[in-house]
């Protein structure tokens, strides 16, 4: 079941409870994307956190790749610089100290000393810095044959080298490479030092190919210092630019994610609002018809499983309209706001109070201990609602009618339960019976008639669908027009003319018949007044159903309408069927006597279809008896019908009543009825029921002939 605590749910603003739905405060606006503010958003597992971690890893990876590529380039550049320095030194500083002859024939001790001195000192201003910077560790000079002609370590002189680099240098290329241990190459021992070894071709003017090669070993340390300085610069630059890049990217994404979250929160909030609006009444915030239906469905499903009972109570406020009419709608609204809490106060937590519209409320008891408990709850609700309401200091009293339907007894679907509770509520309202439990046998309404009921209720709220036609009553003694019967007509907007037989019985089942009768009485009396005003004192007969006769307030209604239209009671006749009176003779009798007391004439309608005895008829304060048309129509062909008509006429006359024959369709009926002494006739032979205007025209024409309709 849906949360029942919300039975009197007010329209609270969406709380945004749960997860990331809390709306963002204005405070953390776009300008506040500072580091702390950003970090605070880094909830573990959030999308932003994932992005932060992944992009950090990618940025660091990018940094490493860039560092690697650049550090290789830096090392290479350092090597090239050192190599170039060596070449310059050799070309400008050393080569001038030796001759082609020195290379070809080797250096005698004197030349050797000279060259050594030259190597040890600077070779000239132009290269001083280079040389000082170079500070060669070791120098060897090879001749064209690869034989060492000069070396710092003199014992190496005269040896021959077959190294590839040397061969390349002899071919004209400058070669250089890093070596880590020169001990075996030089024989000088001295550990694992890193060196840059450079072979520089030496070529004198006029030689087509290099005349020899100088091999210079440089200490690696200065190069390494240069490299590491560059690398430090590189790493600092990289770190700063990547950090700036990362921060900018993060800020961008954090901003976008914040906007997204704000939009999502707004979407959530509006979806929540929509859901609430669709299921709740706008004025009171109570569940509406939709939510009630939903909860009822769930309650019925649950009850079906546990074999428990569910009750639906329809509550209608009887005097709410008065509040609205006399004090205005805003008072009505404020009163309606009080209803939910008042009803809720006598219910349990799991029960639902819904507003169905207007002054109609419904209560769902999802678990109830039979009809008796539902009735007890209805009683408590009525007591609660009958306590005076205090609306802004003004005490308001209302009354409530409640219809009760309990599942499974009165239906097992929400439609059935709601409809039956509705029927019971209308019965309660019409009979001012307080709370009424639906009674299946009496009130069952086939679903095809439900639309009729709804349509009829609507038609009663308008004044262009229901009309009254009038059928003339003709005296059989002189052919004069002695009255008319009012017969209701319903011009349905879609179905066209609906005959009374199709909606009167349905209306009788629900109590709607009272409203219908009031309408027919109202229209007919207005018409009687109009005719009287133009000089035609034409009595009109209106039909009453059983329901009306059971309503003790009927005589008051009739008296009020007569007074309102200024019609003398003698011009109104009320027709009651024989069977209606006999159903509950005692109650009807009281009502009939009061009506008779007003001066209204009464007729027994459809006589012959019931089983009233002479004794019963004698007790009724009626002055007319209408023989049912089935006997009149059959009297000329069936001896039985003829006997009944004759008996009825005699009986009526014996009781001092006037006799009317209904269903007079042919002249032979008129003849036969005249012979039997029947007083009045009504039927198609004289006239069909007609609109008031037609009868007015007829009256005007007949005026000249003394209202004689038939001679």
Contact positions vs ligand C2E (CB under 6 A): 471, 487-488, 499-501, 504, 517, 520, 543-545, 605-606, 629, 662-665, 682-684, 689
Work out how close the CB of 459 gets to ligand C2E at its nearest, in angstroms, rounded to a whole number: 13
Residue 95 vs 658, nearer CB to Ca ion: 658
SS3 sequence of 594-660: HHHHHCCEEEEEEECCCCCCHHHHHHCCCCEEEECHHHHHHCCCCHHHHHHHHHHHHHHHHCCCEEE
Q: Which residues within the stretch 659-698 sit at the binding site for Ca ion (CB under 5 A)?
A: 662
According to the binding rule CB under 5 A, does residue 215 interact with Ca ion? no
Which token pair is 464?
């262009």
Identify which of residues 104 and 667 has a Cβ nearer to ligand C2E in the complex: 667
Residue 684 touches which member of ligand C2E, Ca ion, none, C-beta under 5-8 Å by kind: ligand C2E
Helix (H) or strand (E) holding 317: strand 309-317
Total residue length of the chain: 711
Q: How far is the CB of 611 from ligand C2E (least distance, A)?
A: 18
Least distance in angstroms from the C-beta of 327 to ligand C2E: 35
As measured in angstroms, the least distance from the Cβ of 479 to ligand C2E is 17
Segment interacting with Ca ion (CB under 5 A) among 34-42, 394-402, 542-550, 698-706 = 542-550
Site mask, Ca ion, residues 605-644, x = CB under 5 A?
A: xx--------------------------------------
CB-nearer residue toward ligand C2E: 165 or 606: 606
Closest separation between CB of residue 666 and ligand C2E, Å? 9
* Least distance to ligand C2E, CB of residue 452, Å: 14
Instruction: Tell the smallest beta-carbon distance from residue 518 to ligand C2E (Å).
Output: 10
Pairing between β-strand 138-143 and β-strand 148-151 as defined by DSSP bridges: antiparallel
Q: CB under 5 to 8 A by kind: which of ligand C2E, Ca ion, none does 501 bind? A: ligand C2E
Quote the least distance from Cβ 705 to ligand C2E, whole Å.
Answer: 23
How many CB atoms are located within 10 Å of the residue 120 CB?
11
| DSSP state letters, 414-427 | HHHHHHHHHHHHHH
Residue in 284, 324, 517, 543 binding Ca ion, rule: CB under 5 A: 543
Nearer to ligand C2E, 216 or 580 (CB): 580
* 422 to 461: interface string for Ca ion, x by CB under 5 A: ----------------------------------------
Q: Least distance from C-beta 689 to ligand C2E, angstroms?
A: 5
Q: Tell me the torsion sign for CA atoms 632, 633, 637, 638.
A: negative
Question: What number of CA atoms fall less than 13 Å from residue 35's CA on the CB side?
Answer: 4
Partner in contact with 545, chosen from Ca ion, ligand C2E, none, beta carbon below 5 to 8 Å by kind:
ligand C2E
According to DSSP H, which parts of 365-446 are helical?
370-386, 414-430, 440-443
**Residue whose C-beta lies closest to ligand C2E:** 683
Closer Cβ to Ca ion, 48 or 678, answer by number = 678
Inter-residue contact 261 to 43 (CB < 8 Å): no
Closer Cβ to ligand C2E, 94 or 678, answer by number:
678
Count residues near Ca ion (CB under 5 A). Answer: 5
Q: Which of 82, 79, 119, 90 is nearest to 200 (CA)?
A: 90
The answer to whether the CB of 342 falls within 8 A of the CB of 393 is no
Question: Judged by CB under 5 A, which stretch of 35-43, 137-145, 588-596, 603-611 contacts Ca ion?
Answer: 603-611
- Cα dihedral sign for 32, 37, 38, 43? negative
Q: How far is the CB of 493 from Ca ion (least distance, A)?
A: 27
Output 148 or 627, the one with its CB closest to Ca ion: 627
Query: Based on CB atoms, which residue is closest to Ca ion, 605 or 679?
Result: 605
- Alpha-carbon distance 435 to 429, whole Å? 9
Among residues 263, 143, 154, the alpha carbon closest in space to that of 209 is found at 143
Helix runs in 280-369, H state only: 289-306, 320-327, 329-344
User: Looking at beta carbons only, is 114 or 489 nearer to ligand C2E?
Assistant: 489
Neighbours of 39 (CB within 10 A): 9
Is 51 or 685 the residue whose CB approaches ligand C2E more closely?
685
Nearer to Ca ion, 501 or 711 (CB): 501
Q: Which is nearer to ligand C2E, 87 or 486 (CB)?
A: 486
Least distance to ligand C2E, CB of residue 619, Å: 23
Per CB under 5 A, which region of 16-24, 397-405, 460-468, 656-664 contacts Ca ion?
A: 656-664
133 interacts with, out of ligand C2E, Ca ion, none, CB within 5 to 8 A per kind: none
Nearer Cβ to Ca ion (281/662): 662
Distance, first Cα to last Cα, the chain: 76
CB 292 within 8 A of CB 312: no
| Integer Cα distance of 709 and 711 in angstroms | 7
Q: How far apart are CA 650 and CA 679, in angstroms?
A: 11
Q: What is the three-class DSSP state of 578?
A: helix
Among Ca ion, ligand C2E, none, the one that 620 touches (CB under a kind-dependent 5 to 8 A) is: none
By CB under 5 A, residue 575 contacts Ca ion: yes
Q: Containing H/E element for 311? A: strand 309-317
**Cα(509)–Cα(489) distance, rounded to whole angstroms?**
19
Beta carbons of 131 and 139 less than 8 angstroms apart: no
Q: Min. distance of Cβ 367 from ligand C2E in angstroms?
A: 42
Q: Which of residues 310-349 bind Ca ion (CB under 5 A)?
A: none
418-428: b or e for each residue (b if 16 or more CB lie within 10 Å)?
Answer: bbbbbbbbbbb
Helix, strand, coil percent values for the chain (each to nearest 5): 55, 20, 25
Shortest separation between residue 529's beta carbon and Ca ion, angstroms: 21
What residues line the site for Ca ion (CB under 5 A)?
Answer: 543, 575, 605-606, 662
């Amino acid at each position: 079941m849906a949360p029942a605590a919300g039975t009197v749910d007010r329209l609270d603003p969406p709380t945004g409870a749960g997860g990331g739905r809390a709306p963002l405060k204005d405070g953390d606006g776009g300008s506040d994307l500072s580091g702390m503010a950003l970090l605070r958003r880094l909830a573990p597992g959030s999308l932003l956190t994932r992005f932060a971690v992944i992009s950090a890893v990618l940025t660091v990876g990018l940094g490493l790749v860039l560092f690697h590529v650049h550090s290789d380039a830096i090392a290479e550049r350092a090597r090239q610089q050192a190599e170039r320095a060596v070449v310059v030194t050799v070309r400008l500083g050393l080569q001038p100290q030796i001759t082609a002859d020195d290379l070809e024939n080797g250096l005698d001790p004197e030349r050797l000393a000279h060259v050594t001195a030259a190597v040890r000192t600077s070779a000239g201003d132009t290269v001083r810095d280079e040389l000082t910077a170079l500070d060669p560790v070791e120098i060897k000079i090879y001749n064209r044959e690869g034989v060492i002609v000069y070396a710092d370590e003199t014992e190496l002189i005269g040896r021959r080298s077959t190294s590839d680099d040397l061969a390349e240098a002899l071919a004209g290329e400058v070669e250089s490479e890093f070596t880590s241990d020169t001990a075996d190459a030089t024989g000088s021992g001295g550990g694992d030092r890193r060196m840059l070894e450079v072979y520089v071709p030496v070529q004198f003017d006029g030689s087509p190919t290099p005349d020899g090669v100088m091999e210079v070993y440089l200490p690696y340390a200065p190069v390494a210092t240069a490299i590491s300085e560059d690398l430090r610069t590189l790493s600092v630059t990289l770190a700063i630019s990547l950090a700036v890049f990362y921060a900018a990217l993060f800020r961008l994404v954090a901003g976008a994610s914040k906007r997204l979250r704000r939009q999502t929160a707004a979407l959530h909030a509006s979806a929540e609002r929509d859901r609430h609006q669709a299921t709740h009444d706008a004025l009171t915030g109570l569940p509406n018809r939709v939510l009630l239906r939903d909860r009822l469905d769930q309650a019925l499903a649950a009850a079906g499983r546990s074999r428990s009972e569910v009750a639906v109570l329809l509550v209608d406020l009887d005097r709410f309209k008065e509040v609205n009419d006399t004090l205005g709608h805003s008072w009505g609204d404020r009163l309606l706001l009080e209803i939910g809490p008042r009803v809720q106060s006598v219910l349990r937590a799991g029960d639902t109070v819904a507003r169905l519209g207007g002054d109609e409320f419904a209560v769902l008891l999802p678990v109830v201990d039979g009809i008796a408990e539902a009735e007890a709850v209805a009683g408590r609700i009525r007591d609660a609602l009958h306590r005076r309401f205090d609306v802004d200091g003004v005490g308001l009293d209302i009354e409530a009618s409640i219809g009760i339907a309990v599942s499974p007894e009165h239906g097992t679907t929400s439609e059935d339960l709601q409809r039956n509770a509705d029927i019971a509520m209308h019965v309660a309202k019409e009979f001012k019976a307080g709370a009424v439990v639906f009674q299946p046998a009496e009130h069952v309404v086939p679903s095809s008639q439900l639309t009729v009921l709804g349509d009829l209720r609507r038609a009663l709220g308008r004044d262009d669908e229901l009309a009254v036609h009038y059928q003339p009553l003709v005296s059989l003694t002189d052919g004069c027009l002695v009255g008319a019967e009012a017969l209701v007509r319903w011009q349905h907007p879609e179905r066209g003319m609906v005959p009374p037989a199709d909606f009167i019985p349905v209306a009788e089942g629900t109590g709607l018949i009272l409203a219908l009768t009031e309408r027919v009485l109202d229209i007919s009396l207005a018409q009687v007044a109009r005719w009287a005003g133009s000089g035609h004192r034409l009595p009109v007969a209106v039909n009453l159903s059983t329901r009306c006769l059971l309503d003790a307030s009927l005589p008051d209604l009739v008296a009020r309408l007569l007074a309102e239209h200024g019609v003398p009671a003698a011009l109104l006749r009320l027709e009651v069927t024989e069977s209606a009176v006999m159903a509950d003779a005692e109650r009807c009798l009281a009502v009939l006597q009061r009506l008779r007391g007003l001066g209204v004439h009464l007729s027994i309608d459809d006589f012959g279809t019931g089983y009233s005895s002479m004794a019963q008829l004698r007790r009724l304060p009626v002055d007319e008896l209408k023989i049912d048309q089935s006997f009149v129509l059959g009297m000329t062909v069936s001896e039985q019908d003829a006997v009944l008509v004759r008996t009825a006429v005699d009986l009526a006359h014996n009781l001092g009543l006037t006799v009317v024959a209904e269903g007079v369709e042919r002249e032979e009926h008129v003849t036969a009825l005249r012979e039997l002494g029947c007083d009045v006739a009504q039927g198609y032979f004289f006239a069909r029921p007609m609109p008031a205007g037609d009868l007015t025209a007829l009256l005007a024409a007949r005026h000249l002939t003394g209202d004689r309709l038939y001679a």
